[in-house]
Chains A and B, each alone.
Chain A
Amino acid sequence: MDIRPILSTLMRHRTAASLIVIEIALTCAIICNALFMISDRLTQIREVSGLVEEELVRVRINSIGNDPEENARTRSDLAALRAIPGVKEATVTNQVPFVNSSWNNSIRLDPDQQQPTLTPTMYLAEERFLETLGLKVVAGRGFNPDEFMDASTAMAGLDGSSMVPAAIITRSMAERLYPGEDPIGKSFYNGPISVRVVGVVEHLVRPSEMGGPTAREYSMIFPLRPHYNFGGNYVLRTDPERRQEVLEAAKKVLRANGADRIVMDEESKTFEQLRAEFYQAPRSMAWLLGIVCVALLLITALGIVGLASFWVQQRRRQIGIRRALGATRGQVLRYFQTENFLLASIGIVLGMLLAFAINQVLMGRYELARLPLYYLPTGAVLLWLLGQVAVYAPARRAASIPPATATRSI
């Protein structure tokens, strides 16, 4: 189809044409960025934790004031929890994924190095930690029974007189510390203390967002038995369908084991719930962005329908004359479709430039990644389709103008 006559008509309706172009450009720019942010949020929500989440529940407990018997009490708590029918494993730990409270230590590969190499999070583990959480050891081994010691003893002497007997780290942390090497048997320094890596787990996410997306799995596990006042997290593993029952039983067992403690009901939940709450903010943001995208597309489509209808009405005579001179309905229809395609194309080109500009600003301010190139054709196709769908009805109306209009005066 010859586009010259289309262009010369558009030049005569510059204002209206540029309005459509601007609207499409803005929509394209916003949608490209919004889609990118949605995918970023979805990546967060779908994050792998490394835990057998659907089998785990967490019970939170706190002593009233200080408990001089906290180590002994932790042992009796664990024994009682493990005896609950349906409980496969139980452990106590200082922090759990999906709860924004974390213990982080700076580590160095060389004790005299000026800046720390990494600031991973530190999980304190007792004997059944790996089994309860369902962590997968992919290299080396789990802890040996003689490597465990009470965390309260170890913490009191972190000046070097004490030591951390061994550590298990995540694969992500191993690759960051010892790229391309076998991490087993290597050492790093936790403060002045040398710690030897004995095992690597496939995944273990850190509780907080500290360090950003790349640091999500910089986690290390020390065989230091925490007592229940180190964060107060009892984690129990059971069958998915028995979680609620086990949760209730566990609260009862803990309450029975001493009245001078508080079991926190609103913080005792299944990991499924903890996860859902933890990702609530990115989930809401993704929904919001999605709704805005749909609304934007709708508004733009309606704007195109409005202006196209106006043009069709304005050019009734012109269309009638073309029809009288032999143009088919199809040709009239395609005329308007092509016109819209041209406008959309200009809008899309401008929109992409704008999309990149917005992305640059966001990258500077919010540590967003660079907009991947494949978002641009996606946005383009979306807006081309939108334009064609929107213009179809007005174009059909134009095509149905009878040739007699040419000779009829209004």
Chain B
Amino acid sequence: MFAYYCNLALRSFRRDRALTALMVLAIALGIGACMTTLTVFHVLSGDPIPGKSDRLFYVQLDPADSLGYTPGEEPSDQLTRLDAETLLAQKRGKRQAMMTGGGVSITPDQAGQVPFVASARYTSADFFPMFDTPMLHGNGWSAREDESHARVAVISSELNQRVFGGGNSVGRQLRIDQADFTVIGVTDQWRPTPRFYDMYSDRYGALEEVFVPFSTSRDLRMGRNGSMDCWGDSGGDSTSLNAPCTWIQYWVELESPGEAGPYRDYLMNYSDQQRAAGRFTRPTNVRLRNVMELLEFNRVVPGDVVMQLWLGLGFLLVCLVNTVGLLLAKFLRRGGEIGVRRALGASRRAIFAQCLVEAGAVGLAGGVLGLLLSILGLWAVRQQPYSYAELAQLDAGMLLLTFVLAVVSSVLAGLLPAWRAMQVTPAIQLKSQ
């Protein structure tokens, strides 16, 4: 029966080429727009570190002075260097790391290569195991190197390619700013999306090219970037240990999500102690958010992308309403034919099924064309100068979703017209012939 309905649908398409083409085009445009925007949204709103995102927590305290304090407001979004170093030394989580972004100069050893600027992250040993950073060669450093302010560096595979021409360069020397560093690790391809561990630099940027122990970076006064908030007197150096400035991101990994409570208590306790010692002046105000909560709080997906998603859905809705109208016209125009089939014994259910098959076929054709349109749409997105542009790729799940969306939406669009068609009364249709 299904084959017969397909055959009927094909005949019907042939009879009304313009109308069929119009319906397919409308669905294709709707699906194309919807899938393009949905894919971008899907890529940008995903979990950057699945399996661990509920055990990684971002720490916030409120060390600022009381000037400008509003009760109930969020605490400072980053930590002071002193608080970060103290928490790090107390080691209350399974793993913990302090970090900030920066920029360094790389002077390649090879003749003919000119110095260039590379993105850097100054962090502590646990960064690599805590974030499951994949390593191509070697490893990250240990707490010993942090303490001894060792001149060691982990570099990205791109930088490894650029400076050393690839290969295992563990043990080789790299000139960073004005000092020589020993490469101890090369990271593999890794692009956490979004780059969740630092909300204050390019949120969809690539992994940093150079990683250096935080302690070493301060010895050499390496250039930092990202946001910094200061109050009071920093004595000219806002990155010094006691400067009243927040500029450090601090992450902790706990054994289980359930340990967030005790850890929060520890932070509140720490904050109370600092206030008792006169360092903190504001009431204790602590935040401990896991990865997804932090992304949600920071509204990490750009507003335009969300807006585009709604626009795509709205567009698909208009296309569907349009398709409902056209299908209705198409089915009712064939009232005579349906009347004959009913008179010859076809049940209402059969008419209904036949109409839905026809609607589904339109949806499938629209889906194929819509897929091509969304590939074109994503290509257009990739031409834009956003840092996330290159991530706008269709994956297998989204591919499947395209067809499901196309067929389901067109079958939904076919329900009402099919319902009306099945109620055609054979007698009237036959009489009017």
Contacts and interface: CB of A to CB of B under 8 A. Distances in A.
B117 A26 contact: no
Interface in B283-326: 303-304, 306-308, 311, 314-315, 317-319, 321-322, 324-326
Contacts of A277: 385
A310 B333 contact: yes
A307 interface: yes
Nearest to A158: B233
Contacts of A262: 105, 114-117
Nearest to A303: B322
B177 A65 contact: yes
Given A19-B325, A264-B117, A30 B318 contact: yes
B67 A114 contact: yes
Interface string B220-246: 111101000000011110000000000
Nearest to A60: B117
Given A23-B318, A303-B322, A30 B311 contact: yes
A205 interface: no
A281 B386 contact: yes
Contacts of B326: 303, 306-307
A35 B202 CA distance: 30
A201 to B, nearest CB: 27
Interface size, A (range): 35 or more
A157 B333 CA distance: 86
Given A20-B325, A300-B318, A306-B326, A157 B385 contact: no
A64 B385 contact: no
B233 A295 contact: no
B361 interface: no
Contact of A159 (B222, B233, B306, B319): B233
A295 B315 contact: yes
Contacts of B29: 295, 299
Interface in A57-72: 62-66
Q: Is the interface of A mostly helix, strand, loop or mixed?
A: helix
Interface in A1-55: 15-16, 19-20, 22-23, 26-27, 30, 34, 37
Contacts of A27: 318
B33 interface: yes
B10 interface: no
B29 to A, nearest CB: 6
Contact of B385 (A101, A280, A299, A303): A280
A299 B177 contact: no
Interface in A294-310: 295-296, 299-300, 302-303, 306-307, 309-310
Contacts of B115: 64, 262
A114 B68 contact: yes
Interface string B94-131: 00000000010101000000111100000000000000
Contacts of B90: none
Contact of B69 (A20, A22, A62, A114): A114
Contacts of B178: 64-66
A257 interface: no
A407 interface: no
Contacts of B430: none
Contacts of A281: 304, 384, 386
Contacts of A15: 328, 416, 420
Contacts of B148: none
Interface string A300-325: 10110011011001100000000000
A101 B332 CA distance: 62
Nearest to B385: A280
A24 to B, nearest CB: 10
B143 interface: no
B311 A289 contact: yes
Interface string A276-296: 010011001100110010011
Contacts of B346: none
A410 interface: yes
Contacts of A114: 67-69
A19 B384 contact: no
B328 A19 contact: yes
A288 B308 contact: yes
A381 interface: no
A388 B178 CA distance: 73
A156 interface: yes
A302 B325 contact: no
A115 interface: yes
A16 B117 contact: no
Contacts of B86: none
A252 B67 CA distance: 48
B37 to A, nearest CB: 9
A404 interface: no
Nearest to A264: B117
Contact of B328 (A16, A157, A159, A299): A16
A23 B322 contact: yes
B225 to A, nearest CB: 8
Interface in B378-433: 384-386, 416, 420, 433
B22 interface: yes
A116 B68 contact: yes
A116 B229 CA distance: 14
A106 B303 CA distance: 26
A156 B236 contact: yes
B26 interface: yes
B329 interface: yes
Nearest to A298: B29
B19 interface: yes
A155 interface: yes
A374 interface: no
A147 to B, nearest CB: 21
Contacts of B328: 15-16, 19, 307
A15 B326 CA distance: 12
Contact of B315 (A30, A303, A365): A30
Nearest to B231: A191
Nearest to B336: A410
Given A30-B314, A62-B105, A299-B29, A410 B433 contact: yes
A19 B420 contact: no
B221 A306 contact: no
Contacts of B324: 19
B236 A306 contact: no
The 7 tightest CB contacts between A and B, nearest first, are: A310-B329, A156-B236, A65-B178, A65-B177, A303-B322, A64-B105, A19-B325
Given A19-B321, A292-B33, 4 more contacts: A15-B420, A65-B105, A115-B68, A307-B328
Interface of B: 19, 22, 26, 29, 33, 67-70, 103, 105, 107, 114-117, 177-179, 220-223, 225, 233-236, 303-304, 306-308, 311, 314-315, 317-319, 321-322, 324-326, 328-329, 332-333, 384-386, 416, 420, 433
22 contacts: A23-B318, A23-B321, A23-B322, A30-B318, A62-B117, A62-B223, A65-B220, A66-B178, A115-B70, A159-B235, A262-B116, A262-B117, A281-B386, A284-B384, A288-B311, A292-B33, A295-B315, A296-B315, A296-B318, A300-B318, A303-B26, A303-B321
